[in-house]
Amino acid sequence: MSKKSVFIVSFLTFSVSIFPQKSIDQKVDALLKKMTIEEKIGQMNQYNDDWTSTGPVTVDNEKAAQIRNGQVGSLLNCLGTARVRSWQKMAMQSRLKIPLLFGQDVIHGFKTTFPIPLAEAASWDLSAIELSARIAAIEASASGINWTFAPMVDIARDPRWGRVMEGAGEDPYLGSRIAYARVKGFQGEKLGSVNSLMACAKHFAAYGAAIGGRDYNSVDMSNRLLWEVYLPPFKAAVDAGVSTIMNSFNDLNGVPATGNKYLQRDILKGKWGFDGFVVSDWGSIGEMINHGNVKDEYEAALSAITAGCDMDMESRCYKNNLEQLVKDKKIDVSLIDDAVRRILRKKFELGLFDDPYRFCNADREKAALNDPEHSKIARQMAEKSIVLLKNENQLLPLSKELKTIAFIGPLVKSLKQNKGFWDIDVPNTDSTFIVSQWQGLQNKVGQSTKLLYAKGCEIEGNDQSGFAKAVETAKQADVVILSIGERRDMSGEAKSRSNITLPGVQEELVRAIMATGKPVVVLINAGRPLVFNYITDSVPAILYTWWLGSEAGNAIADVLFGDYNPSAKLPITFPRSVGQIPIYYSHFNTGRPATNDEDRNYRSAYTDLSIYPNYEFGYGLSYTTYQYSDLKMTAKTMNVNGKIGVSAIITNTGKYAGEEIVQLYIRDKVGSIVRPVKELKDFIKIHLNAGESKTVTFSIDKEKLSFYNQRLEWVAEPGEFDVMIGASSADIRLKDSFELLN
Ligand code: BGC
């Protein structure tokens, strides 16, 4: 560097330090001072851009005028740089030129569709999950969006609930780790990077515990269950720096979450110190009238703002009532100021005041939406999400030398179904940008393998007229692959089902094909755990493929032929019957535990149902086998502030390289509050070549042993703890115990 430039650089550094830039908070305060009450309330108002809708639409022809008037803070469901730019231009005509936020449900990918979140959770692969969210953010932020309504971090233990597909399953520990990874992925290095989205952890809180698995239903639970199971993933999201939180439709113990002060002000903004903003769910402020908790929109607005909800999605209760509430002295304007300050801070952090069009670069949009690298990453994520449930006599992987393969079923040739619920049809992009399962298989096998196809039946309905052709086709093949399951929109919002068996006559189709005596592989495509006992009991090979996204076909073929050795494990228990729901691994022992299905007399069991699920939490096979050995603990006693190291050797004893998810469970033997029979406390995913061994180590500290006592204090109580290392929650391979000292 020349002397002159050294001088300039040091002068600049010097001047920055003596004339510091205004901090974001100072800028927010300065702007707030200029705002009228109407403009402030405008920032708290969010509308749907009627390009598409994800809730009941309110016809409103005044949106453009209101934006120009500074009466709107954000839009949702507005896609593409051109459309976003045109709305943003209107906001720039408002008196104070405050840019709009553009929100979208970017749930599992944007143009490139990744596996549904529940499927990704089955990978237990935190860096892959983070990367999936990152790619979604890169694409969405290039297409005008700066805010995603994701991740959904609701714990869900009822597969009837359609939104089970949107989360990470039943477990608070796994759910928290995944929530953290997803927030980091969406938000990137820091908010303000041009490819970062604001994340939104939702739905706060306990929405996943809707009674009977019926969407939007009430939730009734103890405070301890709330704190131990349902809140941890939200806390993890806050720890990861999540920008926003969405409240929820349900009432919690009689108080709608949207108007719940305990949840939003006391816990979230108080105890956890959350400094982002809270958005309502679609119309949920107004829906408090239906709940029967407030009389009218005026009371609804009062309840929501008092409880700490900062932005109103689509109900218009804030717009129409907040000013009057201030005039009537029902609320102090400082409540509004606090909400607006939180919203403006995010707009500054996103860099929107520097350039309101920074997410509207059409060239960047084109490049990001056509980056072939994204498909590669989606394919890898999809491979990691497929769960091998059964593989009798090592039917899988299939040989690439097979002469004839029959690919049968209603999902073989479908395109869109593979995307699952909450996919996004990005305007002006190619909708055939999905690799069907048929295409995936064609891409995989060589010229010498003949592929035969028959549909067999539809997903729904009673028509069996295609069975004969399907059976004939099966008879000509060396192996039959059957692709069956739900329709993509049978799970998702407002898609609760009371019967979660395979729809239509698909099970009959499987029976008809099985009767040919041919080796059969079943692929089950679904957005939730289904009940499929006949298949479990009779079909030799089963892959649970969920909805895998754009690269479904390629990823399935990779697994079928062993180019990827399956490693996924279930993030949620699969019941044998709807009658077992809710069924989850971390249950209490009860006073009369049944030890097996013969043990029913005066036991906690059903007279007509097994106590065991179809497949347990943490379950999933591989083409290879793993041996667990040499459990070692660094001590047999631990002081409250100490640590114990636990290690084991894992050996790949089979023929294929693979990845194993080694799970650490702990049981607190005696607690002032009864403790679950086991709780996941850590896991590690390791890669092992055939014959290779690796030592895995876990560290146990007070945090892993603590729970909420009677007074809701987070404590570790002295006493004996079991330590279990396993390949699933039921397949515990190594066990020991230690004592926590006083
Ligand atoms: C859903 C939210 C979603 C919102 C906006 C609501 O119906 O519950 O999860 O983010 O719509 O699409």
Q: Report the CATH number that the domain containing residue 673 is assigned in CATH.
A: 2.60.40.10
573 and 645 belong to one structural domain: no
Question: How many whole angstroms from 282 Cα to the centroid of ligand 1?
Answer: 6
Beta carbons of 436 and 554 less than 8 angstroms apart: no
| pLDDT at position 13 | 46
Q: What is the DSSP letter of 448?
A: T
pLDDT along the chain (742 residues), means of 10: 48 49 94 98 95 83 95 96 97 98 98 98 98 98 98 98 98 98 96 97 98 98 96 98 98 98 98 98 98 98 98 98 98 98 98 98 96 97 99 97 97 96 84 88 94 98 98 98 98 98 98 98 98 98 98 98 98 98 98 96 96 98 98 98 98 98 98 98 98 98 97 97 98 98 92
Residue 154 Cβ inside 6 Å of ligand 1? The answer reads no
Question: How many whole angstroms from 281 Cα to the centroid of ligand 1?
Answer: 6
575 and 492 belong to one structural domain: yes
678 and 556 belong to one structural domain: no
436 and 526 belong to one structural domain: yes
| pLDDT at position 635 | 98
- In whole angstroms, what is the distance from residue 149 CA to residue 167 CA? 12
Residue 486 Cβ inside 6 Å of ligand 1? The answer reads no
| pLDDT at position 397 | 98
What CATH number did the domain enclosing 408 receive? 3.40.50.1700
Beta carbons of 103 and 141 less than 8 angstroms apart: no
Residue 166 Cβ inside 6 Å of ligand 1? The answer reads no
| pLDDT at position 383 | 98
Beta carbons of 398 and 560 less than 8 angstroms apart: yes
Q: Which of 733, 683, 664 is nearest to 178 (CA)?
A: 683
Residue 493 Cβ inside 6 Å of ligand 1? The answer reads yes
558 and 694 belong to one structural domain: no
Residue 182 Cβ inside 6 Å of ligand 1? The answer reads no
**Does 80 fall in a domain?**
no
542 and 650 belong to one structural domain: no
* DSSP string computed for 220-284: ---HHHIIIIISHHHHHHHHTT-SEEEE-SSEETTEEGGG-HIIIIIIIIIIT---SEEE--TTT
* DSSP string computed for 134-152: HHHHHHHHHTT--EE---B
Please give the tally of structural domains in the chain. 2
| Ligand 1, atom nearest to 203 Cα | 9
391 and 532 belong to one structural domain: yes
Q: Which of 453, 560, 467 is nearest to 515 (CA)?
A: 467
Q: Which of 515, 512, 679 is nearest to 588 (CA)?
A: 679
- In whole angstroms, what is the distance from residue 372 CA to residue 382 CA? 16
**Does 361 fall in a domain?**
no
- In whole angstroms, what is the distance from residue 294 CA to residue 291 CA? 8
**Does 519 fall in a domain?**
yes
473 and 409 belong to one structural domain: yes
480 and 570 belong to one structural domain: yes
Residue 281 Cβ inside 6 Å of ligand 1? The answer reads yes
**Token pair in block for residue 213:** 């698995």
**Does 509 fall in a domain?**
yes
Closest C-alpha to ligand 1, atom 6: 282
* 46, 421, 493, best to mutate for ligand 1 pocket (most atoms within 8 Å of CB): 493
CA distances from 101 to 341, 345, 404 (A): 14, 12, 54
- Is 281 part of the annotated catalytic residue set? yes
Residue 422 Cβ inside 6 Å of ligand 1? The answer reads no
| pLDDT at position 428 | 72
Closest C-alpha to ligand 1, atom 10: 149
**Does 43 fall in a domain?**
no
Question: How many whole angstroms from 56 Cα to the centroid of ligand 1?
Answer: 11
Amino acid at 180: Y
Beta carbons of 280 and 245 less than 8 angstroms apart: no
Question: How many whole angstroms from 311 Cα to the centroid of ligand 1?
Answer: 14
**Token pair in block for residue 688:** 């092992």
Residue 312 Cβ inside 6 Å of ligand 1? The answer reads no
CA distances from 167 to 116, 153, 157, 614, 710 (A): 9, 6, 11, 21, 29
Residue 738 Cβ inside 6 Å of ligand 1? The answer reads no
Question: How many whole angstroms from 261 Cα to the centroid of ligand 1?
Answer: 21
Amino acid at 224: R
**Token pair in block for residue 368:** 């990001």
| pLDDT at position 50 | 77
537 and 460 belong to one structural domain: yes
572 and 672 belong to one structural domain: no
User: With the C-alpha atoms ordered 79, 83, 85, 89, is the resulting torsion angle positive or negative?
Assistant: negative
**Does 150 fall in a domain?**
no
Structural domain ending residue among the three candidates 515, 545, 580: 580
Q: What are phi and psi of 598, to 5 degrees?
A: -90, -15
Whole domain around residue 455: which residue ranges? 380-580
| Ligand 1, atom nearest to 248 Cα | 8
688 and 545 belong to one structural domain: no
**Does 453 fall in a domain?**
yes
**Does 138 fall in a domain?**
no
| Ligand 1, atom nearest to 152 Cα | 9
Question: How many whole angstroms from 193 Cα to the centroid of ligand 1?
Answer: 25
Residue 467 Cβ inside 6 Å of ligand 1? The answer reads no
Closest C-alpha to ligand 1, atom 4: 282
Q: Which of 450, 502, 506, 505 is nearest to 479 (CA)?
A: 450
Structural domain ending residue among the three candidates 544, 564, 580: 580
| Ligand 1, atom nearest to 166 Cα | 9
Residues 6 or more apart whose Cβ sits within 8 Å of residue 464: 457, 505, 508, 509
Give me the catalytic one of 154, 281, 312, 558. 281
Structural domain ending residue among the three candidates 524, 556, 580: 580
